[in-house]
């Protein structure tokens, strides 16, 4: 690259210039116009991102075998009445939490057994959330090697019923999950249990069942996710070791519901029902918020931005809207709904759309402002939750075992206080779930037809990966161009300096100087490497902090910061300061350019890698990192330029330096969305803690890519050139 | 008086039964049809049809048969079959509720799909060829894709764990084969009366396929060929159909009686929708049995004692509990050897005396609620997959003692008592099992494999050639409550054309067979009772206790099958680029080009001028940086831009006003 570059940019040599190959010429062209190109690309990337709600397509059911809604629902009012009886039984249990803990599983198990299914209890301990630095991505970090001294009371009991499909071969299963808090059952939870029971008892009688059906009544004393994940772990990765067994024996008497006459309910075994085809978690939420229709909220995001197959969402959405007349919602960022910026953009887009349509009636790309704002808020939420890498519900546990699952949260339009209303609500919800099960039951293969990588902009609209990766691509393209351009410029200038020196002074250390020139990126590379090493150390530090359990979030945060700074100083002590470059007969004012180009190269590689692991994280990260990389300029160097320019560059750089620092950005966002009063330094610690508790790759991204990049940004900014 | 007559009758029969009936010395073809009905504990009814055709040896009888199906005779002759069993099954046998310790279970509980095994009496090098032809013939005969068992990756030759001592045994299973009426019709065609008369006439297709389990089986035993030639029995064709039906779909809690649920009452008409109108006239005998299980009998006795039914020995002791709508011709009691104090009871009905206008419709009406459970095998075997993902996993076979508390046989649970368990498992080659990873856990404790393993025979799979086969003999202490065997595997990759249709469903691992050779599932009946019944004599044969495990579904990495299109596109692109650049290199003359370039540089084209200007600007930029912001303007020639904008504006305005 270098010789050609010299030939391309400096055509002052005597012998005639040889025209390089077209591809090289394009490269040279891009590099020489790097500023324009990168500005264009970056702006285009931002615009593409803003336009994403415009490009959303309507969802469609891709797998023909699903056939949602083609069969009449079989759930009758009789089933629902039976279920309502269960609601009354559960609510009627005026028990202390200690009794309810045992009594409710017994009641559910009794109902399951009466319906004619296999029943067993699954007992589990809550898992401590701990930081295992070496267990990222390994799926189940806690493989039973920590056995704490649990008392028998601390067990939670899941109740599991299995219907064996009468003519099925038992290779596949559909899982229904109803989480409830056994210590304090509320009406909503009782209703969701009743909903599951009505469907379950129906399914024991139907003839069309081809897959087994598992109903997991998950005891959510220690959180929904914990109970579901404990059951899934025992289902997929059972431990045959003796420790647990002995433990179970000791606690046998106290831990399990007593059964006098029922010998069908087993306590010590996990019955299995083949490979899981899909999981449906459903909850009833009694919100007391009056709406015109019953509302169904769909939650789909699992860990690290994994999504269930779009077909699963499609069938639920189709059945809910077209068969049961529910209003379907997906999460959105509500504070964005009042955003002025979005409103302006929406207005502009609507106007453009109108003009375009009046020019040619076939150009239909404009959408109404309200749709745009709504779509953008949903898209932002979808992107945020995927980027965060934390599952939005207990369905996330299924995705760790490659099972497609979603959470359905049904809330009634008015408060459920009279019986007729409850029955109608149960019937509607039950028919929706029955239809979904029937569709999944029709499925011969596992879900594979539709999309796995998508953002939702409304329950019936999505942006597929082919569209949203354009924005990311446009954002990232400037990085290699700028890096190459900076490096080339630095070298060209240096060679000029050397020539100048050769002309003026004696050509003594000529050869050595040139050799040194071509290797001087090594120093910058070393600096970048050291900073990344520091990033790795910082992201491992919380493990050390966990050795002192009695720390508040704020003190943890402070000590984390102090330890980080200390480790940085220590690293510089032993590996050398970033600025102490041995400048031999050298124009030092280009040193920062090489450092910047190295930093940009590292950031580009990091973003590229992250886009494979979690695309949404990479996309949001790119929005922060790319302007940092493009804008950074040593403050000292800037002062030599004009006044206005200086001011602009300085302001940009300082604000970027502030926003780019993860804790600052987090607290800023929090203050923006929730108001200033609720912000404290410990919040960031809690947030980060949740990231590693969920094995989120976003944590690694922050520690290994974003933070080093920010530090390098600061170095370049404060470079003493 | 009637009692005296029946005693006399029995005496006569006793006389008859001493002469060997089934030794085949009669030299006649025989056909018999029998049906056994048994109420099951979970409110269902088991119906087991047993048809048996016998042909005397060819040496004595010749090639022509009146009753024996010609297709089967030719099959035996052509492929030199010594023994063969073919089963078509839909649904799973529920070992826990429908029993695991009786002759019907161990012979007729089959894995879902098709299972075929055969012992062929041909020289060892011809067995495989013979087997392949046999699969094709059976495939045509039964309208099923049994021919998929032809491929050497689909069948295996177990040494000893499946059937003892046979070198020329071949075993294959197709777990995904769907079973329906198209398989039943050819099976019924083998019967002399088809389904036009006799017991088979009640096989109403909708009602039997509505059931919970459905297994049709064909078993062939022949002494026609090979070493046993000259023995007398000839060819025996045994056709059985085992169905589990639910008599009535009424809700369980509608007929409560004192808090407990009454078992549903049923009759032939209510479960099949048809009645038996006489026997098949070609059949030697046509019998219907209703069996009351051992555990049910003991439960009834217990209840009877509590209710104060005086005489348990008399025939009418069951009257308080249930009614039979037809008086049985005979009551047969099990000869009890080992199983506690009770023995099962068979009510026998002969259909010979019933005619079209007076059909036979036996039914059972419950009067009191009874709860019982069927006798269980000592261990309940189940198999499952561990792990997830497309890379690796493990198979676990777990054995759970079915009798909680004490071991399975309290009188035998002494020190040092052990029980033998044989495991036979075939895994397809793309599930690459590592046999060295075999682990044994007994009662939750890890055991050395050698402690439990007595004998093992393994033939590892060969990619795309043969499946992996594992035969094991394990010994466990009698007091054991649970045991688990795990073995790890890697998932292989298939070539794109080896994927079956619907590849995304996953791949099946056929059932493993777990046998308990220490136990016999035979039922013995009092000698005088068991005259002339092929079904009962089958029950009394040496029946090894065995159970099949679940079929497993292994998700493998599956390619996106629309990918070939993409691959073609990218391949074409790569080829075009390659050949383009190759041609470019071949036809390029470097000297000429340099000359041209020189000339061109003399002429100073537009672009180089622009470039040199640009580079000058660039260099200038570093000397005086404030200028740099305007450096890009040279690219955007304002004149040109203006022209373009003007033209575009005119075009847009023109378009706008003319619509």
Name the residue facing A16 among B42, B388, B598 (closest C-beta): B598
Name the residue facing A164 among B92, B486, B656 (closest C-beta): B92
Task: Look at residue B477 and tell me if it is in a domain.
Answer: yes
Q: Which residue of B has its CA nearest to A275?
A: B553
Complex ipTM over 0.85: no
Task: Look at residue B297 and tell me if it is in a domain.
Answer: no
Q: How far is A261 from chain B (nearest CA, A)?
A: 11
Q: Which residues of B touch A448 (CB under 8 A)?
A: 504, 558
Domains of chain A: residue spans and CATH: 22-54+467-499+512-579+589-718 (no CATH), 72-130+154-249+268-330+392-447 (3.40.630.10), 332-388 (no CATH)
B354 close to B277: Cβ distance less than 8 angstroms:
yes
Task: Give Dmax over CA atoms of chain A in angstroms.
Answer: 106
B376 close to B324: Cβ distance less than 8 angstroms:
no
As a whole number of angstroms, the distance between CA A110 and CA A259 comes to 10
Contact A445 B502 (CB under 8 A): yes
Cα separation values, B419 from A435, B413, B447, Å: 49, 10, 16
Q: Which residue among B520, B554, B588 closes a domain? A: B554
Q: Which residue of A has its CA nearest to B441?
A: A240
Contact A236 B597 (CB under 8 A): no
B489: its two tokens: 């595997």
**One domain for residues B443 and B545:** yes
As a whole number of angstroms, the distance between CA A305 and CA A698 comes to 10
As a whole number of angstroms, the distance between CA B240 and CA B46 comes to 13
Task: For an interface test with B, give the residue of A167, A309, A449 to mutate (most B CBs within 10 A).
Answer: A167
Per-residue pLDDT band at A222 (split at 50, 70, 90): confident
Is B278 in the A-facing interface, judged by CB distances under 8 Å?
A: no
Task: For an interface test with A, give the residue of B42, B88, B92, B605 to mutate (most A CBs within 10 A).
Answer: B92
**One domain for residues B408 and B543:** yes
Contact A641 B252 (CB under 8 A): no
- Going by C-alpha positions, the residue among B244, B250, B227 that lies closest to residue B166 is B227
Q: Which residues of B touch A240 (CB under 8 A)?
A: 441, 444, 446, 484, 486
Most confident of A674-678, A717-721, B653-657: B653-657
- Going by C-alpha positions, the residue among B38, B548, B380 that lies closest to residue A170 is B548
Name the residue facing B508 among A167, A171, A241 (closest C-beta): A171
Dihedral, CA of residue B177, residue B180, residue B181 and residue B184, to nearest 10: 50
- Percent of chain A's residues with pLDDT above 70: 82
**One domain for residues B657 and B509:** no
Please write down the HEC assignment for all residues of A24-76.
HHHHHHHHHCHHHHHHHHHHHHHHHHHHHHHHCEECCCCCHHHCCCCCCCCCC
DSSP-derived secondary structure for B14-37: HHHHHS-STT-TT-S-EEEEEEEE
As a whole number of angstroms, the distance between CA A91 and CA A185 comes to 7
As a whole number of angstroms, the distance between CA A36 and CA B80 comes to 85
- Digit-coded pLDDT (tens) for A544-588: 877 777 778 888 888 888 999 999 888 888 776 666 554 444 555
B520 close to B541: Cβ distance less than 8 angstroms:
no
Contact B444 A242 (CB under 8 A): yes
A190 close to A234: Cβ distance less than 8 angstroms:
no
Is B625 in the A-facing interface, judged by CB distances under 8 Å?
A: yes
Q: Which residue of B has its CA nearest to A117?
A: B42
Is B603 in the A-facing interface, judged by CB distances under 8 Å?
A: no
Span A126-136, average pLDDT: 62
Task: Look at residue B373 and tell me if it is in a domain.
Answer: no
Q: Kindly give, in sequence order, each residue whose CB lies less than 8 Å from that of residue B606, ignoring residues fewer than 6 positions away.
A: none
Q: Which helix (H) or strand (E) holds B572?
A: helix B563-587
| Residues facing residue B170 across a β-bridge | B118
Q: Which residue of A has its CA nearest to B602?
A: A16
Q: Which residues of A touch B618 (CB under 8 A)?
A: 9, 32
Name the residue facing B597 among A18, A139, A274 (closest C-beta): A18
Task: Look at residue B407 and tell me if it is in a domain.
Answer: yes
Is A116 in the B-facing interface, judged by CB distances under 8 Å?
A: yes
Task: Look at residue B348 and tell me if it is in a domain.
Answer: no
Is B393 in the A-facing interface, judged by CB distances under 8 Å?
A: no
pTM of the predicted protein model: 0.84
**One domain for residues B636 and B517:** no
Q: Indicate the DSSP class of residue B334.
A: B
Task: Look at residue B323 and tell me if it is in a domain.
Answer: no
- Do the bridges between strand B81-90 and strand B155-156 make them parallel or antiparallel, or are there none, so unpaired? unpaired
- Going by C-alpha positions, the residue among B161, B203, B190 that lies closest to residue B47 is B203
Q: Which residues of A touch B175 (CB under 8 A)?
A: 169
- Going by C-alpha positions, the residue among A174, A386, A411 that lies closest to residue A280 is A174
Q: Which residues of chain B have pLDDT under 50?
A: 1-3, 7-8, 10-25, 251, 253-257, 405-408, 410, 623-634
Confidence at residue A669, expressed as pLDDT on a 0 to 100 scale: 82
Name the percent of chain A in helix, strand, coil, to the closest 5: 60, 10, 30
Confidence at residue A254, expressed as pLDDT on a 0 to 100 scale: 45
Q: Which of residues 62-121 of B touch A (CB under 8 A)?
A: 90-92, 94, 112-113
As a whole number of angstroms, the distance between CA B214 and CA B208 comes to 8
Confidence at residue A719, expressed as pLDDT on a 0 to 100 scale: 80
**One domain for residues B510 and B631:** no
Name the residue facing A36 among B486, B505, B632 (closest C-beta): B632
Q: Tokens 């200033």 correspond to what residue?
A: A676
Q: Which of residues 353-392 of B touch A (CB under 8 A)?
A: 382, 384-389
Q: Which residue of A has its CA nearest to B551?
A: A171
Name the residue facing B597 among A19, A275, A400 (closest C-beta): A19
Is B598 in the A-facing interface, judged by CB distances under 8 Å?
A: yes
Contact A9 B619 (CB under 8 A): yes
Q: How far is A18 from chain B (nearest CA, A)?
A: 7
Alpha helices (H) in B284-354, listed in sequence order = 294-307
Task: Look at residue B576 and tell me if it is in a domain.
Answer: no
A628 close to A710: Cβ distance less than 8 angstroms:
yes
Is B608 in the A-facing interface, judged by CB distances under 8 Å?
A: yes
**One domain for residues B106 and B208:** yes
Confidence at residue B625, expressed as pLDDT on a 0 to 100 scale: 42
As a whole number of angstroms, the distance between CA B81 and CA B187 comes to 18
Residues present in chain B in total: 659
A32 close to A4: Cβ distance less than 8 angstroms:
no
Q: Is the dihedral of CA A578, A579, A584, A588 positive or negative?
A: positive
Contact B553 A275 (CB under 8 A): yes
Is B257 in the A-facing interface, judged by CB distances under 8 Å?
A: no
Confidence at residue A260, expressed as pLDDT on a 0 to 100 scale: 42
Task: Look at residue B101 and tell me if it is in a domain.
Answer: yes
Task: For an interface test with A, give the residue of B114, B504, B580, B654 to mutate (most A CBs within 10 A).
Answer: B504
Confidence at residue B316, expressed as pLDDT on a 0 to 100 scale: 60
Name the residue facing B92 among A170, A237, A246 (closest C-beta): A170
Q: Which residue of B has its CA nearest to A65?
A: B502
Q: Which residues of A touch B566 (CB under 8 A)?
A: none
Is B4 in the A-facing interface, judged by CB distances under 8 Å?
A: no
- Provide the domain count of chain B: 3
Angle between helical axes of A478-504 and A615-631 (0-180°, round to 10): 30
Name the residue facing A33 among B389, B446, B632 (closest C-beta): B632
Task: For an interface test with B, give the residue of A40, A85, A86, A240 to mutate (most B CBs within 10 A).
Answer: A240
Contact A446 B444 (CB under 8 A): no
Q: Which residue of A has its CA nearest to B609?
A: A11
Q: Indicate the DSSP class of residue A210.
A: -
Per-residue pLDDT band at A202 (split at 50, 70, 90): very high
Q: Which of residues 184-213 of A touch B (CB under 8 A)?
A: 205, 207
**One domain for residues B75 and B215:** yes
**One domain for residues B120 and B264:** yes
Q: Kindly give, in sequence order, each residue whose CB lies less than 8 Å from that of residue A143, ignoring residues fewer than 6 positions away.
A: A237
Per-residue pLDDT band at A266 (split at 50, 70, 90): low
| Residues facing residue B552 across a β-bridge | B509
| Residues facing residue A297 across a β-bridge | A329, A409
User: How far from the centroid of its chain's Cα atoms is residue A344's Cα?
Assistant: 29
Q: How far is B642 from chain A (nearest CA, A)?
A: 20
DSSP-derived secondary structure for B117-150: EEEE-S-GGGHHHHHHHHHHHHHHHHTS-GGGGG
Please write down the HEC assignment for all residues of A91-105.
HHCCCCHHHHHHHHH
Q: Which helix (H) or strand (E) holds B287?
A: strand B286-292
**One domain for residues B630 and B534:** no
Q: Which residue among B265, B282, B299 closes a domain? A: B282
- Digit-coded pLDDT (tens) for A368-406: 888 999 999 999 999 999 998 889 989 999 988 989 999
Domain boundaries, position B659:
623-659
As a whole number of angstroms, the distance between CA B323 and CA B346 comes to 14
Is B623 in the A-facing interface, judged by CB distances under 8 Å?
A: no
As a whole number of angstroms, the distance between CA A58 and CA A271 comes to 41
Q: Which residue among B495, B520, B554 closes a domain? A: B554
Q: Which of residues 457-486 of B touch A (CB under 8 A)?
A: 482, 484, 486
Contact B635 A358 (CB under 8 A): no
Name the residue facing A238 among B210, B386, B508 (closest C-beta): B386
């Amino acid at each position: 690259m270098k010789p050609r570059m010299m030939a391309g940019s400096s055509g002052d040599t005597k012998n005639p210039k040889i025209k390089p190959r077209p591809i090289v010429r394009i490269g040279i062209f891009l590099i020489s116009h790097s500023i324009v190109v990168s500005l264009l690309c970056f702006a285009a990337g931002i615009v593409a991102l803003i336009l994403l709600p415009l490009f959303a397509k309507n969802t469609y059911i891709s797998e023909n075998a699903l056939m949602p809604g083609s069969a009449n629902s079989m759930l009758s009012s009789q089933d629902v009445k039976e279920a309502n009886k269960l609601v009354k039984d559960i609510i009627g249990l005026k028990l202390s939490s200690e009794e309810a803990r045992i009594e409710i599983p017994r009641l559910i198990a009794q109902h399951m057994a009466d319906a004619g299914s296999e029943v067993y209890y699954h007992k589990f301990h809550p898992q401590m959330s701990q930081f295992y630095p070496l267990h990222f991505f390994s799926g189940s970090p806690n493989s039973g090697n920590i056995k704490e001294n649990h008392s028998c009371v601390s067990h939670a009991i899941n109740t599991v019923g299995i219907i064996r499909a009468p003519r099925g071969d038992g290779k596949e299963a559909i899982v229904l999950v109803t989480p409830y808090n056994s210590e304090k059952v509320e009406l909503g939870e009782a209703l969701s249990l009743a909903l599951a029971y009505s469907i379950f008892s129906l399914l024991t009688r139907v003839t069309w069942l081809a897959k087994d059906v598992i109903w997991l009544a998950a005891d959510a004393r220690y959180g929904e996710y914990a109970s579901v994940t404990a059951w899934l772990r025992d289902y997929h990765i059972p431990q045959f070791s003796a420790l647990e067994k002995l433990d179970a024996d000791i606690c046998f008497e106290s831990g399990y519901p007593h059964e006098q006459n029922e010998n069908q309910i087993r306590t010590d075994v996990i019955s299995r029902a083949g490979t899981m085809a899909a999981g449906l978690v459903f909850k009833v939420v009694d919100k007391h918020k009056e709406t015109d229709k019953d509302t169904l909220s769909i939650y789909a995001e699992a860990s690290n931005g994994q999504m269930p197959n779009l077909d699963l969402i499609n069938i639920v959405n189709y059945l809910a809207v077209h068969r049961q007349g529910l209003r379907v919602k997906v999460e959105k960022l509500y504070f964005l709904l009042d955003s002025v910026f979005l409103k302006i953009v929406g207005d502009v887009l609507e106007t453009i759309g109108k003009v375009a349509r009046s020019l040619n009636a076939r150009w239909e790309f404009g959408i109404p402002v309200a749709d745009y704002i709504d779509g953008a808020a949903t898209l932002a939420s979808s992107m945020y939750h995927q980027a965060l890498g934390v599952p939005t519900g207990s369905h996330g546990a299924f995705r760790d075992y490659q099972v497609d699952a979603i959470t359905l949260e049904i809330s009634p339009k008015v408060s459920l206080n009279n019986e007729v209303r409850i029955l109608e609500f149960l019937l509607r919800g039950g028919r929706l779930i029955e239809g979904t099960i029937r569709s999944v039951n029709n499925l011969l293969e596992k879900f594979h037809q539709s999309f796995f990588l998508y953002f939702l902009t409304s329950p019936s609209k999505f942006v597929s990966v082919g569209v949203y990766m354009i924005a990311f691509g446009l954002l990232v393209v400037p990085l290699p161009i700028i890096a190459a351009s900076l490096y080339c410029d630095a070298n060209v200038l240096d060679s000029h300096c050397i020539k100048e020196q050769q002309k003026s002074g004696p050509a003594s250390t000529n050869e050595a100087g040139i050799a040194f020139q071509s290797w001087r990126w090594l120093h910058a590379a070393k600096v970048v490497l050291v900073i990344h090493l520091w990033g790795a150390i910082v992201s491992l530090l919380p493990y050390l902090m966990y050795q002192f359990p009695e720390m508040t979030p704020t003190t943890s945060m402070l000590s984390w910061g102090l330890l980080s700074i200390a480790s940085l100083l220590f690293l510089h002590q032993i590996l050398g300061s970033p600025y102490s470059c041995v400048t031999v007969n050298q124009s030092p004012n280009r040193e920062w350019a090489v450092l910047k180009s190295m930093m940009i190269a590292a950031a580009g590689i990091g973003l590229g890698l992250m886009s494979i692991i979690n695309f949404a994280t990479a996309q949001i990260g790119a929005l922060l990192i790319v302007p940092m990389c493009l804008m950074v300029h040593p403050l000292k160097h800037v002062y030599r330029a004009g006044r206005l320019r200086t001011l602009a560059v300085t302001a940009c750089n300082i604000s970027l330096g502030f926003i780019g620092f993860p804790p600052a950005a987090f607290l800023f966002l929090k203050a923006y969305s929730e108001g200033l009063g609720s912000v404290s330094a410990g919040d960031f610690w809690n947030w980060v803690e949740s990231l590693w508790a969920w094995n989120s790759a976003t944590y690694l991204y922050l520690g290994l890519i974003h933070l080093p990049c920010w530090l390098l940004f600061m170095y370049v900014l404060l470079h003493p050139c | 008086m009637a009692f005296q007559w029946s005693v006399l009758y029995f005496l006569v029969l006793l006389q008859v039964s001493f002469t060997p009936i089934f030794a085949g010395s009669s030299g006649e073809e025989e056909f018999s049809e029998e049906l056994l009905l048994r109420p099951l504990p979970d409110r269902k009814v088991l119906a087991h049809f047993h048809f048996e055709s016998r042909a005397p040896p060819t040496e004595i009888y010749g090639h022509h048969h009146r009753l024996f199906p010609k297709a089967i005779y030719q099959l035996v002759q052509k492929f030199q079959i010594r023994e063969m069993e073919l089963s078509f099954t839909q649904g799973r046998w529920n070992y826990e509720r429908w029993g695991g310790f009786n002759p019907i279970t161990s012979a007729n509980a089959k894995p879902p799909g098709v299972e075929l095994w055969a012992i062929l009496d041909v020289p060892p090098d011809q067995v495989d060829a013979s087997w392949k032809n046999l699969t094709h013939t059976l495939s045509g005969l039964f309208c099923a894709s049994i021919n998929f068992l032809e491929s050497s990756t689909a069948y295996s030759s177990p040494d000893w764990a499946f059937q003892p001592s046979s070198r020329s045994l071949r075993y294959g299973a197709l777990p995904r084969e769907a079973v329906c009426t198209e398989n039943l019709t050819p099976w019924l065609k083998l019967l002399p009366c088809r389904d036009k008369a006799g017991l088979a006439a009640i096989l109403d297709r909708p009602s039997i396929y509505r059931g919970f389990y459905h297994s049709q089986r064909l078993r062939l035993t022949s002494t026609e060929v090979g070493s046993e030639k000259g023995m007398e029995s000839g060819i025996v064709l045994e056709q059985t159909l085992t169905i589990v039906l639910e008599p009535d779909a009424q809700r369980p809690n509608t007929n409560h009686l004192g808090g407990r649920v009454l078992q549903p009452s049923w009759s032939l008409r209510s479960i099949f929708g048809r009645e038996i109108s006489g026997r098949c006239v070609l059949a030697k005998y046509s019998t219907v049995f209703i069996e009351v299980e051992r555990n049910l009998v003991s439960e009834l006795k217990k209840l009877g004692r509590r209710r104060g039914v005086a005489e348990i020995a008399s025939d009418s002791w069951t009257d308080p509990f249930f009614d039979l709508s037809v008086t049985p011709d005979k009551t047969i009691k099990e000869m009890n050897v080992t199983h506690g104090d009770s023995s099962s009871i068979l009510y026998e009905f002969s259909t010979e005396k019933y005619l079209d206008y007076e059909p036979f419709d036996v039914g059972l009406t419950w009067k009191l609620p009874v709860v019982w459970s069927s006798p269980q095998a000592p261990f309940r075997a189940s198999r499952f997959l561990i792990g997830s993902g497309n890379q690796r996993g493990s198979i676990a076979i777990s054995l759970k003692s079915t009798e909680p508390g004490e071991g399975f046989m309290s009188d035998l649970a002494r020190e040092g008592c052990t029980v033998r368990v044989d495991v036979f498992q075939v895994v397809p080659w793309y599930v690459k099992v590592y046999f060295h990873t075999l682990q044994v856990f007994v009662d939750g404790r890890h055991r050395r494999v050698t402690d439990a393993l007595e004998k093992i025979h393994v033939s590892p799979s060969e990619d795309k050639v043969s499946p992996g086969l594992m035969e094991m003999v394990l010994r466990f202490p009698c007091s054991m409550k649970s045991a688990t065997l795990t073995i790890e595997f890697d998932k292989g990759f298939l070539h794109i054309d080896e994927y079956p249709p619907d590849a995304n469903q996953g791949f099946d691992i056929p059932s493993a067979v777990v046998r308990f050779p220490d136990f016999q599932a035979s039922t013995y009946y009092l000698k005088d009772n068991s005259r002339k019944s092929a079904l009962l004599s089958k029950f009394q044969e040496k029946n090894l206790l065995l159970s099949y495990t679940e079929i497993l579904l292994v998700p493998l990495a599956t390619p996106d099958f629309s990918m070939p299109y993409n691959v073609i596109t990218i391949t074409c692109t790569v080829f075009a680029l390659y050949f383009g650049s190759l041609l470019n290199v071949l036809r390029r003359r470097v000297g000429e080009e340099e000359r041209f370039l020189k000339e061109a540089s003399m002429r100073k084209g537009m672009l180089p001028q622009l470039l040199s200007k640009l580079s000058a600007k660039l260099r200038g930029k570093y000397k005086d940086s404030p200028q740099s912001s305007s450096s890009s303007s040279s690219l955007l020639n304002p004149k040109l831009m203006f022209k373009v904008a003007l033209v575009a504006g005119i075009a847009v305005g023109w378009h706008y006003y003319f619509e």
